[in-house]
Amino acid sequence: MIRKYEIRISLCASLFLCFFCQLPTALCQLSNTDSSKVRVIDGRRYYVHTVVKGETLYAISRKYGVEIRDIALENPLTINGLKTGSVIKIPVPIRSEKPARSLDGKYVFHTLEHGETFYSLSKQFLVSIDEIKSANHGLVNGLKSGMTIRIPVFTQIVTNAMLVTDTISNYQSPLTNHLTLTGDHPKGVAITNIQSDSLTFRDVYNVGLMLPFYLAMNDSIDLNKEIYEPDKIYALSEIALEFYEGALIAVDSLKKQGLSVRLFVYDTKNDTNEVIRLLQQEESLFTKMDLIIGPLYRSNLSTVVNFSKPDKQRINASHHSSPNLQIFRFSNHIHVVSPFIITNDILRGNPHLSKATSCFETHVGKIALYIARKYISRNNHDENKNIIVVYSDTTDLADEAANGRSREERMLSDVFKNKLLRNVETLHATSLHSYGRDRDTMEYSSPSLSLRHVAYNERGMEAIEEVLSITDTNVIVIPSRDQVFVSKLISKLNELKDDYDMILFGLPVWKDFANIEIEYLHNLKVHIASSSYIDHESEEVKSFVKQYFGRYHTFPGNYVFQGFDIVYYYLNTLKNYGYNFQTHLPEITNTGLQTSYEYFKTGVEDGYENKKVFILKYEDYELKLVNSEW
């Protein structure tokens, strides 16, 4: 189902971005049906699910792999939640990986399921019934379950966000209206350890928000896009739009606290040349910014960071980037915020940059701290703790990408080892000693710990099974973001679940791996480190969702929460510290709705990384928080 959004931009006292969604008619009475079965209703395929006691909309969305908003739009749900025993319909996602592509790229192949009709297929694949019949020699004998047919590729894609053409210039030019802010900040969102310097306050702060809206591209139709190709343009636009919606709520939430801000919004188009053009065109405005949030992507962000540096630094840097940037000759000290970039190398030599997302080294370090506290007892030294770190060991010199991943995994394995040993020694006053290493394993032992590194090479599972313990719990850390490797390894370990007690730890990107069976994640008690976590049962989140639903008539996605948290944190910091706030960042802690903040400076001449990481565990078909205090 393609939803059309109308975006209206008002340049009055405040800026609003509103999505108007048409909700379907009320769901007809459905019987208590097995949720594993698929039914065709009004030409669309659905799972039919009966809500059980204690079940949440979030848990259901995770179970079926469907967005909360998509479930909500198909059912007469109230913002207050679900009722036990109610029956809801859940749209079956159209999997792009399932149909096989023909050699000429004009068709996809589809295997018919029970109940599918010409009408339902035309609705699902957005082609006419006549086109389906013509592609399959008329299908004179009709459709039969299990039959594989050709579906013509739909070549006229309607955008997820229909943008009013005359608003494009409003985004390209700064929105100079002074925003009056309305509403209180959400309950529980608090900043602590506030210290003020009255010399750095302003009556009104100038804040730039640079996001890839792709406005011009969303205003046109891509005639060449095939139905099973990723929705790159539209999905990326939605990221920016959701982030922006959350940002506006954060801005509104600070009015009663006395903050005044001018918000300048720019469409970067994820194009470095466009960013340079904006910086040149709006030069006088950019030099007066107190804060710039974004751009989202590395090349665009590097350009803005270079501009934000003091005159001497920027001139030197311009020789190594774009000569167009040599136009800037201002002693700017503008603080720039990176919302999404993970690696810390962007912080080197950029003391006016902070990064809201923790790097993988920080995630692995927090996993080591959690394991040291949770699984290595301070008192029970008689019980051996079998901790295993597994990484891929690529020896194919021709595959540079695979070698790069292998190098990263070895580096993260060493980070884990060093952090774990240091934490154990600090927490438990235990001295650990290395007692052996060879090509496949590096082993460390003490009365309280057995730590082994396993290189998953041509020996595969044989090397892992050699170090698994039958009597002790095996804590297995896999510091890899290679989806193929992780999926294969988890599948192999799941085959051993009845023989060994295993607990797995992994990286935040695992949340996005769609090809891992959810049962495997539960069987192996998988934990992941993550920079974000939303407690959908908390009163603060429920209050925010209700506020967002009342404003946009749909449920917020993760980027809405992220936009709110980041903008709220930094604007509140401006309000309490003034425009020279960055040196105080390590003093400020904030608990947001999805992201919490604990910054530290990564080097004397470097920027700031948010080191707050959550440890989450797969349980009851959702990710649950297992640590909150550190």
Residue with tokens 């719990």: 473
Q: What is the pLDDT of residue 242?
A: 93
Residue with tokens 């948290």: 565
Q: What is the pLDDT of residue 543?
A: 93
Nearest to 92, CA basis, from 37, 130, 50, 156: 37
Q: What is the pLDDT of residue 77?
A: 54
Q: What is the pLDDT of residue 286?
A: 86
Nearest to 322, CA basis, from 279, 355, 293: 279
Nearest to 504, CA basis, from 558, 464, 535: 464
Q: Measured between alpha carbons, how far is 605 from 92 in angstroms, rounded to an integer? A: 51
Using an 8 Å Cβ cutoff, are 624 and 617 in contact?
Answer: yes
Residue with tokens 């051996």: 384
Q: Measured between alpha carbons, how far is 332 from 285 in angstroms, rounded to an integer? A: 12
Residues in contact with 255: Cβ distance below 8 Å, sequence separation at least 6, in sequence order: 180, 181, 182, 183
Q: What is the pLDDT of residue 1?
A: 33
* DSSP-assigned states of every residue in 558-617: HHHHHHHHHHHHHHHHHHHH-TTGGGGGGG-EEE-SS-EEEEEESSTTS-EEE---EEEE
Domain ranges for the chain: 107-152, 161-356+538-605, 360-530
**Helix (H) or strand (E) run with residue 389 in it:** strand 386-392
Residue with tokens 């007690």: 501
Q: Which tens digit of pLDDT belongs to each residue from 403-449?
A: 788 889 999 999 999 999 888 877 766 544 443 443 334 455 555 56
Angle 400-428/360-374 helices, nearest 10 degrees?
Answer: 40
Q: What is the pLDDT of residue 441?
A: 40
Residue with tokens 């466009």: 274
Q: Report CA-CA distances (Å) from 221 to 158, 224, 225.
A: 7, 9, 9
Q: Report, as ranges of residue numbers, the positions in the chain whose pLDDT lies below 70.
A: 1-37, 42-44, 69, 73, 76-81, 94-108, 123-126, 153-199, 217-236, 310-332, 377-384, 395-399, 428-449, 628-630
Residue with tokens 């003034």: 578
360-530 to CATH, choices 2.60.200, 3.90.930, 2.40.10, 3.40.50 = 3.40.50
Return the DSSP state at 26. Answer: P
Q: What is the pLDDT of residue 300?
A: 92
Q: How many CB atoms lie within 10 A of CB 187?
A: 11
Tokens of 247: 């940002």
Q: What is the pLDDT of residue 324?
A: 46
161-356+538-605 belongs to which homologous superfamily? Response regulator (3.40.50.2300)
Q: Which tens digit of pLDDT belongs to each residue from 290-317?
A: 999 999 999 899 999 988 776 544 444 4
Using an 8 Å Cβ cutoff, are 443 and 434 in contact?
Answer: yes
> What HEC string does 132-168 produce?
HHHCCHHHCCCCCCCCEEEEECCCCCCCCEEECHHHH
Long-range CB pairs of 84-87 (<8 Å, 24+ gap) are 84/51, 84/52, 84/53, 84/55, 85/50, 85/51, 86/50, 86/51, 87/27, 87/30, 87/31, 87/32, 87/33, 87/48, 87/49, 87/50, 87/51
Using an 8 Å Cβ cutoff, are 490 and 524 in contact?
Answer: yes
DSSP alpha helix (H) spans, 282-395: 283-286, 298-308, 311-318, 360-374
Residues in contact with 308: Cβ distance below 8 Å, sequence separation at least 6, in sequence order: 292, 332, 333, 334, 335, 336, 352, 353
107-152 belongs to which homologous superfamily? LysM domain (3.10.350.10)
- Backbone dihedral region of 470: left (phi > 0), alpha (psi from -120 to 50 degrees) or beta? alpha
Produce one character per residue of 487-514: b if its CB has 16 or more CB atoms within 10 Å, e if not. bbbbeebbeeeeebebbbbbbbbbeebe
Give strand ranges (E) for 36-119. 38-41, 44-50, 87-91, 107-111
Q: What is the pLDDT of residue 166?
A: 27
**Helix (H) or strand (E) run with residue 544 in it:** helix 539-552
Distance of CA 286 to the CA centre of its chain: 29
Tokens of 492: 């192999």
Q: What is the pLDDT of residue 328?
A: 44
Q: How many CB atoms lie within 10 A of CB 36?
A: 8
- Strand 433-437 and strand 386-392: pairing? unpaired
Using an 8 Å Cβ cutoff, are 211 and 265 in contact?
Answer: yes
Produce one character per residue of 259-276: b if its CB has 16 or more CB atoms within 10 Å, e if not. bebbbbbbbbbbbbebbb
Return the DSSP state at 522. Answer: H
Compute the mean pLDDT over every residue in the chain, rounded to the nearest whole number: 74
161-356+538-605 and 360-530 agree in CATH topology: yes
* DSSP-assigned states of every residue in 29-56: P-----TTSEEEETTEEEEEEEPPTT--
Q: pTM of the full predicted structure?
A: 0.68
Nearest to 424, CA basis, from 446, 441, 391, 454: 446
